[in-house]
Amino acid sequence: MTETGSSPPLPEAAQASTEDLVRDVSAALTAGAPAAARHLVEGLRTPDLAEVIELLDPDDRVELIQAFGSEFDFEVFSELDESVRDQLSEALPNEFLARAVKELDTDDAAYIIEGLEEEDKEEVLAQLETSDRAALERNLEYPEETAGRLMQAHFVAVAPFWTVGQVIDYMREADDLPESFSEIFVVDPSFRVLGSVELSRLLRAKRSALVETLMETERHVVLATEDQEEVAHQFKRYDLFSVPVVDENQRLVGVVTVDDVVEVLDDEADEDMKKLAGVGDESLADSVLQTVKSRVPWLVVNLGTAILASVVIEQFDASIEQMVALAVLMPIVASIGGNAGTQTMTVTVRALATSKLGSTNARRVITREALVGLTNGLVLSVILASVVFLWFGSGMLGAVIGTAIIVNLFCAAVAGILIPLLFHRYELDPAPASGVFVTMVTDCVGFFAFLGLASILLF
């Protein structure tokens, strides 16, 4: 018995670190004790249980989920990494997936079955009620990463001539309402959005009040075919909590909520970060083959640009043979230029992704970055020239590398902004390709400027 006023004991799962917990669960499953493994994680919240499942081996994931039987919380699927969710969708029986689809919102349910074979998909859909199946199929009709795929198909929509009392009675009696919602949409007979009413405002009004007297008519809407990243930017720009989704005829078909948008923003930021490093849409749960396929294409391109830089160096092999110091200092010129180009490129790609850089301000930003590169080059050239003078005792060599640094950092800044802008102008994703080509420019320009000046001034 605990003392009065003391906190209740934490669940067993909450007392252990995630790594220890994963090891214990894995050991229990290996020992053929799925019930014990289930007991270890029963106290976890949904996101924490999803994290444990992701860290387990693929076979152990399936066994742990099956240990829960009908008591498994299907909301876990909405928290899983996409590759893990796809693996589980393929490994778990269709009867289990059908139960999951029934419990989840339509957007999360679509993620579960979108990667299934057509035969399995039809078997899962056949076990749904007609209304649920129609809503899910409507989601699947829209392309991936659009508002239509992101939306929830269940919402509350009423006529403007209804009274508050009618709306409340309707919400109490209807069986197909979403589990949680904060807005009620007002529609005309063609299901076009006229406005919306916040639930808090509705509950404070008298039962006799008409909905049309309470609704906000300036309602932000998005097309079902609109890119989910653009939808997320609109949520951020206009401080939205939810937004109705309409089809090409402006008829209400669903609603996107802020919790879905948070996931989109997180996924898009993660995707941009990976692309800047030349990595595809991969995760730690991917196999060796999947990871190699994701990474090797840009490594091959990078190899080609590295060979090009080596060709530049080859043109000055005689100068390098006469003065070993040139070979010692070459990596400094290339690395400083590469880092400067990466700084500019990262800022540019992020600005393009968030629509903060366009034709209206491109000239001003290009000028700014060029001046920044020139100024940084002047500062670093003074430092490096001094170091080289003290190191090799040659003022002329210091002047050569200092000048090369100025040239390379200026070119790095210009390339770091112009290359992403060029890709963006031709509707190509600047994130994955920019890094390789910016590095190519900084290496080639840096080596050519340094070795060229050395050949002219030192020999």
* Model confidence pLDDT, tens digit, residues 106-116: 888 888 888 78
Residue 278 has pLDDT above 80, yes or no: no
Of 343, 319, 341, the residue nearest 330 (C-alpha): 319
Give the whole-angstrom CA distance, residue 401 versus residue 114. 57
Give the whole-angstrom CA distance, residue 452 versus residue 444. 11
Please report the pLDDT score of residue 10 as a whole number.
Answer: 42
Residues 424-452 have a mean pLDDT of 90
Q: What is the mean pLDDT of the chain?
A: 88
- Using CB atoms within 10 Å of the CB of residue 257, give its burial: 0 to 12 exposed, 13 to 18 middle, 19+ buried: buried
Looking at the whole model, is its pTM more than 0.85? no
Residues 290-317 have a mean pLDDT of 84
In order of their start, the domains of the chain are 12-145 (1.25.60.10), 157-257 (3.10.580.10), 288-457 (1.10.357.20)
Please report the pLDDT score of residue 270 as a whole number.
Answer: 76
In the three-class reduction of DSSP (H, G, I as helix; E, B as strand; rest coil), residue 255 is classed as strand
Q: In what order do the strands lie in the sheet with 193-198?
A: 157-158, 183-187, 193-198
Residue 359 structure tokens: 């034709």
Place of tokens 């049309």: 212
Please report the pLDDT score of residue 31 as a whole number.
Answer: 94
Give the whole-angstrom CA distance, residue 366 versus residue 348. 10
Q: Are 320 and 299 in contact (CB under 8 A)?
A: no
Give the whole-angstrom CA distance, residue 69 versus residue 65. 7
- Side-chain half-sphere CA neighbours of 302 within 13 A: 15
Place of tokens 């491109």: 362
* Model confidence pLDDT, tens digit, residues 202-259: 999 999 999 999 999 988 899 999 999 889 888 988 888 899 999 999 999 999 998 8
Of 417, 428, 404, 256, the residue nearest 326 (C-alpha): 404
- Side-chain half-sphere CA neighbours of 19 within 13 A: 0
Q: Are 306 and 443 in contact (CB under 8 A)?
A: yes
Q: Are 68 and 61 in contact (CB under 8 A)?
A: no
Please report the pLDDT score of residue 215 as a whole number.
Answer: 95
Please report the pLDDT score of residue 280 as a whole number.
Answer: 66
* Model confidence pLDDT, tens digit, residues 321-355: 878 899 999 999 999 999 999 999 989 988 888 77
